[in-house]
Amino acid sequence: MLIFTCLFLAISVRLAFDLKSVLNYQLLVPKILLVTAICQLCLYYNDLYGDGLIQFCRETVVKILQALGVASLVVFAIYYLYPSLQLGRTTFVITLVLLPSLLVMLRFCYGQCLSRVFRTRVLIIGSDALGKSLGQQLVSRPELGYEVVGFIDKDPAKIGMRVVNPGVVGDYDHITDVISTRDIKHVIVALDDRRGRLPLEALLVGKLKGIKIEDGVGFYERLNGKIAVEQLRPSWLIFGEGFRKNWLSGRLKRFVDLSCAILGLLLSSPLLLLLSVLIRLTSPGPVFYRQERIGEGGRVFTLVKFRSMQVDAEKTTGPVWAQDQDPRVTRIGRIMRKLRLDELPQMVNVLKGEMSFVGPRPERPSFVEELKKQIPYYDLRFSVKPGITGWAQIRYHYGGTLEGALEKLQYELYYIKHMSLSLDLLILLETVKVVLFQKGAR
């Protein structure tokens, strides 16, 4: 909206605020929408729409200038190819001066308001792993707009103990007093173990007074875009929101997958042919690599991708995790893996209905059996079709360890819970960013 308004204002300045001339400006709205869309895409791909850069700093200014610089080059290129779309040199110069200034000013004001004026005072009930993790995140990320007042622990002996900063300010008997005397607006119940007595009466009194009461697992999910697997209870999965399949959404997703796979294979056929030739010329062995993977419902299917490693790479080692700088990768394979081009043949798996464009990455049977024994709820990832890309791939780096597999599962469960076409679109846009700027995982 700010970009659109800025462009409209620049045109108005150029036309001396003559409303009739402005409204009669040829193709006014399409021209403004084109520049607005280009600017927004450049700002988005330079990470200027995330929470991390809401807090104003020099990096924010640099990123805004970088994004608008790239946007200007793109707009100039379009104007060169299609002169009829030009807004006018004067309009563009005014916009180049006005827009960066307004964006920087808006970011500064928003960051100041969020971090100082509109801060929400938070009380965390529970000082163990989950409570401590949430406290550390809120303290280290002031741009989120939260102020941790303290922690409540059921053990009175822990009062005064420092958890992060501040520490434990009371036990269950002090909850009502702490809420009223410290102007608490938000209470997060982050208990690792709920088998004991819960302060239900105090929480209900707080809720009736307008205090927001939130479950720690749900807050962790909202804060991080992942689900705290080790803190999950079966009742949370069964009675909570999400984790429901919708027949219509499923059919629509399949239609989109099928259409995009056919179109993708047709458009990328010259590239597929070129890569096939390069693989044959640069290393001995087949062009394609086929491997058994576990799909939806635990069914085994054969995944197809371009071969990026030496032939018989696991002959002496057996099945091993892929590494970030894997020595078994060929020269052309390194380029393909960096740009994710080795995944293109998996569009055939999408056509066959074995995979989707978006979903948890399919794992090998040998790894799955071991991970199911060691990670709770690991089976849930097989409730949907695996994908060429996924939420875990854009949010996490290589997960070639047990700890990495657990971390990726937390993101995968978040995707399964919130699965929708809009989330799929976001993941595909983020995947482009990951490929272009080499962030995230495979």
Tell me the backbone φ, ψ of residue 437, rounded to 5 degrees.
-110, 5
Whether residue 108 is found in the same domain as residue 140: no
Is the per-residue pLDDT at 68 higher than 90? no
* Last residue of one domain, picked from the residues 115, 146, 178: 115
Q: What is the pLDDT of residue 97?
A: 77
pLDDT, mean of residues 397-406: 80
Band of residue 114 on the pLDDT scale cut at 50, 70, 90: low
Is the per-residue pLDDT at 399 higher than 80? no
- Looking at the 3D structure of the chain, how many domains does it have? 3
Assess if residue 240 is contained within a domain: no
Whether residue 201 is found in the same domain as residue 260: no
Band of residue 18 on the pLDDT scale cut at 50, 70, 90: low
Whether residue 355 is found in the same domain as residue 370: yes
Whether residue 6 is found in the same domain as residue 99: yes
Q: What is the pLDDT of residue 324?
A: 61
Range with lowest mean pLDDT among 118-132, 297-311, 354-368, 397-411: 397-411
Band of residue 96 on the pLDDT scale cut at 50, 70, 90: confident
Assess if residue 231 is contained within a domain: no
For the stretch 181-220, pLDDT in tens is: 999 999 999 987 766 677 888 999 999 999 999 999 999 9
pLDDT, mean of residues 276-287: 91
Is the per-residue pLDDT at 54 higher than 60? no
Assess if residue 242 is contained within a domain: no
Assess if residue 235 is contained within a domain: no
Q: Which residues constitute the domain of residue 104? A: 2-115
pLDDT, mean of residues 99-128: 80
Q: Report the alpha-carbon distance of residue 118 to residue 160 in Å, rounded.
A: 28
Choose between 252 and 75: higher pLDDT. 252
Band of residue 442 on the pLDDT scale cut at 50, 70, 90: very low
* Last residue of one domain, picked from the residues 70, 86, 115: 115
* Last residue of one domain, picked from the residues 85, 100, 115: 115
For the stretch 314-341, pLDDT in tens is: 666 566 666 666 677 888 988 998 889 9
Whether residue 272 is found in the same domain as residue 368: yes
pLDDT, mean of residues 27-54: 75
For the chain, the average pLDDT equals 85
Assess if residue 424 is contained within a domain: yes
Whether residue 406 is found in the same domain as residue 269: yes
Whether residue 178 is found in the same domain as residue 38: no
For the stretch 248-273, pLDDT in tens is: 889 999 999 999 999 999 999 999 99
Assess if residue 155 is contained within a domain: yes
Whether residue 339 is found in the same domain as residue 215: no
pLDDT, mean of residues 136-164: 89
Q: In three state form, how does the secondary structure of the chain look?
A: CHHHHHHHHHHHHHCCCCHHHHHCCCCHHHHHHHHHHHHHHHHHHCCCCCHHHCCCCHHHHHHHHHHHHHHHHHHHHHHHHCHHHCCCHHHHHHHHHHHHHHHHHHHHHHHHHHHHHCCEEEEEECCCHHHHHHHHHHHHCHHHCEEEEEEECCCHHHCCCECCCCEEEECHHHHHHHHHHCCCCEEEECCCCCCCCCCHHHHHHHHHCCCEEEEHHHHHHHHHCCCCHHHCCHHHHHHCCCCCCCHHHHHHHHHHHHHHHHHHHHHCHHHHHHHHHHHHHHCCCCCEEEEEEECHHHCEEEEEEECCECCCCCCCCCCCCCCCCCCCECHHHHHHHHCCHHHCCHHHHHHCCCCEEECCCCECHHHHHHHHHHCCCHHHHHHCCCEEECHHHHHCCCCCCHHHHHHHHHHHHHHHHHCCHHHHHHHHHHHHHHHHHCCCCC
Choose between 326 and 426: higher pLDDT. 426
Q: Report the alpha-carbon distance of residue 419 to residue 162 in Å, rounded.
A: 39
Whether residue 305 is found in the same domain as residue 220: no
pTM of the model as a whole: 0.82
For the stretch 361-396, pLDDT in tens is: 999 998 998 899 999 999 999 999 999 999 999 988
Could you tell me what percent of the chain has a pLDDT over 90?
A: 45
Q: Report the alpha-carbon distance of residue 391 to residue 408 in Å, rounded.
A: 9
Whether residue 106 is found in the same domain as residue 128: no
192: domain CATH number is 3.40.50.720
Band of residue 104 on the pLDDT scale cut at 50, 70, 90: confident
Assess if residue 233 is contained within a domain: no
Assess if residue 239 is contained within a domain: no
Whether residue 373 is found in the same domain as residue 259: yes
Could you tell me what percent of the chain has a pLDDT over 70?
A: 86
Whether residue 293 is found in the same domain as residue 396: yes
